[in-house]
């Protein structure tokens, strides 16, 4: 079910040809795209409304209602709500395409020049949520942000977007920050390893019984980088409140000493990791651990599956049955769901086997 309308109203159901929703891991906006048949649009959400109104709120619902011939939003799960960013009009094909982002976009598109000197991180999160009409679900923090600015000389947040500020603060406190529906979440990271993983099961063909694979997926693929041509450098940033110091360590240390004349090589790929309250020694050990993980063990996977509403980016996926080193646990990077009149409900996912908190600096 697709609803369009004014952001301050419940929305009106409109006919659709197909839609897709991509839900991303922490720190990224989720996105949507939908195609609507021009001939089936009618007041109040007709073609003139769609082409001439700004903003337009879009909501997409999906699920498995008890009565497929009679259902409403209460019988489905909301996958995304957000404003339309772009409209594509195809008069020859008689459709109109709308695309946009969830309400993370409100924070991504807004810059802040406030220093927030006397506020805590949680107070800042609540203030920014309220500023955009979002409901704050925030875990309280202690200590004014002004003190963090004094200690941490690595990052300058003046003139950054509100979203960059929140993700930086989340990193300092080892929190996650994300928007779901009309709620801004800012709090401790859930431990995905304590929850039941989403199981992807595979069975290789057996020449005696079957010549085709069996599994609960439509398709799966895996990759592993054996040689990192550019090299890898890991940076760990930490703010130690007890020692009142902010610092960065790099592993391997030799990567940070510059390039000697005559021995220049391609620039290293830098992975940046923020971990709060480490000592210098602990940070160095963690950087080495992350480096070893990336160099020797990074595995990536993707899968195509029948659609459901269970798999989300804050869950883990277990793969079994391939009888290879790829049978392991994966952190979900993104889940894309699609529905069309012709093809029904399907989804795809991407994941990797180490924490998504590691980010690559270009």
Could you read off the pLDDT of 79-98 as tens digits, one per residue? 999 999 999 999 999 999 99
Q: What is the pLDDT of residue 259?
A: 38
Residue 6 phi, psi dihedral angles, 5° rounding: -65, 140
Helices (H), the chain: 47-52, 104-108, 121-131, 145-151, 162-172, 280-297
Q: What are the Cα distances from residue 210, in Å, to 2, 218, 220, 221, 324?
A: 42, 17, 19, 21, 20
Angle between helices 162-172 and 121-131 (to 10 degrees): 150
Question: For the chain, what's the residue count?
Answer: 362
Q: Kindly give, in sequence order, each residue whose CB lies less than 8 Å from that of residue 236, ignoring residues fewer than 6 positions away.
A: 248, 249, 250, 251, 273, 274, 275, 278, 283, 284, 286, 287, 290
Q: What is the pLDDT of residue 153?
A: 47
pLDDT > 70: percent of the chain: 82
Q: Kindly give, in sequence order, each residue whose CB lies less than 8 Å from that of residue 194, ignoring residues fewer than 6 positions away.
A: none
- Say if CB 94 and CB 37 are below 8 A apart: yes
Of the two residues 260 and 116, the one the predictor is more confident about is: 116
Q: Does residue 252 have a cis peptide bond before it, meaning omega lies within 30 degrees of 0? A: yes
What is the number of H-type helices and E-type strands within the chain?
6, 21
Q: Kindly give, in sequence order, each residue whose CB lies less than 8 Å from that of residue 312, ignoring residues fewer than 6 positions away.
A: 23, 332, 335
Q: Which helix (H) or strand (E) holds 228?
A: none
Q: Does residue 263 have a cis peptide bond before it, meaning omega lies within 30 degrees of 0? A: no
Q: What is the pLDDT of residue 297?
A: 61
Q: How far apart (Å, rounded) are the C-alpha atoms in residues 352 and 329?
A: 8
Of the two residues 293 and 244, the one the predictor is more confident about is: 293
Token pair belonging to 214: 């069996």
Q: Mean per-residue pLDDT for 289-316? A: 85
SS3 358: coil
Long-range CB contacts (< 8 A, 24+ apart) of 265-269?
265/231, 266/229, 266/230, 266/231, 267/230, 267/231, 268/230, 268/231, 268/232, 268/233, 269/228, 269/230, 269/231, 269/232, 269/233, 269/360
Place of tokens 């924070």: 107
- Say if CB 197 and CB 317 are below 8 A apart: yes
- pLDDT tens digits for 67-83? 989 999 999 999 999 99
13 pLDDT exceeds 50? yes
């Amino acid at each position: 079910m697709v609803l369009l309308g004014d952001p301050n109203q419940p929305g009106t159901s409109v006919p659709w040809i197909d839609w897709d929703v991509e839900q991303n891991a922490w720190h990224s906006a989720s996105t949507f795209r939908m195609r609507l048949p021009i001939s089936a649009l009618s007041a109040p959400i007709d073609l003139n409304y769609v082409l001439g109104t700004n903003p337009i709120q879009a909501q997409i619902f999906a699920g498995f209602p008890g009565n497929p011939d009679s259902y409403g939003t209460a019988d489905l799960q909301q996958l995304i709500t957000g404003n339309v960013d772009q409209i594509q009009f195809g008069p020859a094909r008689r459709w109109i395409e709308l695309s946009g982002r969830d309400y993370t976009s409100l924070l991504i598109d807004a810059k802040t020049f406030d220093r927030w000197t006397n506020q805590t991180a949680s107070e800042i999160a609540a203030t920014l949520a309220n500023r955009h009409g979002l409901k704050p679900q925030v875990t309280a923090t202690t200590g004014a942000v002004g003190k963090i600015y004094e200690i941490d000389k690595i990052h300058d947040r003046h003139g950054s977007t509100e979203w960059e500020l929140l993700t930086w603060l989340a990193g300092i406190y080892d929190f996650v920050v994300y928007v779901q529906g009309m709620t801004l979440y800012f709090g401790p990271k859930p431990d995905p390893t304590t929850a039941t993983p989403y199981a992807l099961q595979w069975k290789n063909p057996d020449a005696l019984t079957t010549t085709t694979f069996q599994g609960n997926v439509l398709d799966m693929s895996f990759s592993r980088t054996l040689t990192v041509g550019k090299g890898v450098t890991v940076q760990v940033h930490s703010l130690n409140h007890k020692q009142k110091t902010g610092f960065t360590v790099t592993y391997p240390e030799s990567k940070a000493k510059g390039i000697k004349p005559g021995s220049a090589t391609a620039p290293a790929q830098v992975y940046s990791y923020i971990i709060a309250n480490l000592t210098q020694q602990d940070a160095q050990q963690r950087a080495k651990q992350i480096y070893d993980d990336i160099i020797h063990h990074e595995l990536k996977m993707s899968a195509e599956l029948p659609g459901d509403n269970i798999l989300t980016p804050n869950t883990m996926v277990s793969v079994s049955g391939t009888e290879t080193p790829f049978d392991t646990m994966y952190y979900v990077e993104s889940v894309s769901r699609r529905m069309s009149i012709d093809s029904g409900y399907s989804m795809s996912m991407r994941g990797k086997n180490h924490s998504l908190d590691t980010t690559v600096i270009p």
